[in-house]
Amino acid sequence: MGICGRLFDILAGPSIAGWTLPAASHYCWTDVHVTSNNRCCFSWSRRVTTTVTRSLFPAATKIMRQCQVNALVSGWSPDVNLGGFCVRQCLSNRPSGCT
């Protein structure tokens, strides 16, 4: 499953899936109990102010299916609508670099 799979599980929980994300250009999670490959980040090409966590899943799921190797993932999806903003969405271990 890997670290990004665990982040999906957390964000997909019924109490979290509808949360509004803070205005930002990324959302990362680090598992402090794992010593390597312990961070997964959803990032996007511009700051988004009004989106909920479930909005991240369609593009991120596609990236996971197409770009995952040995539980690690790095990829992007163009033309994603997040909170009314058209952005490029990335999934990797970095909070930046999705411009």
pLDDT tens-digit readout, 26-46: 989 998 888 888 999 999 999
Within a domain: 97 = no
Structural domain harbouring 82? 2-92
Within a domain: 85 = yes
CA-based end-to-end distance of the chain? 27
> pLDDT at position 2, please?
86
Within a domain: 64 = yes
* Number of domains the chain contains: 1
| Residue 55: pLDDT over 80 | yes
Within a domain: 99 = no
The predicted-structure confidence for 62-92, as pLDDT tens digits, reads as follows 998 898 887 788 999 999 999 888 999 999 9
Within a domain: 68 = yes
> pLDDT at position 1, please?
67
Cβ neighbourhood burial of 43 (10 Å; 0-12, 13-18, 19+): buried
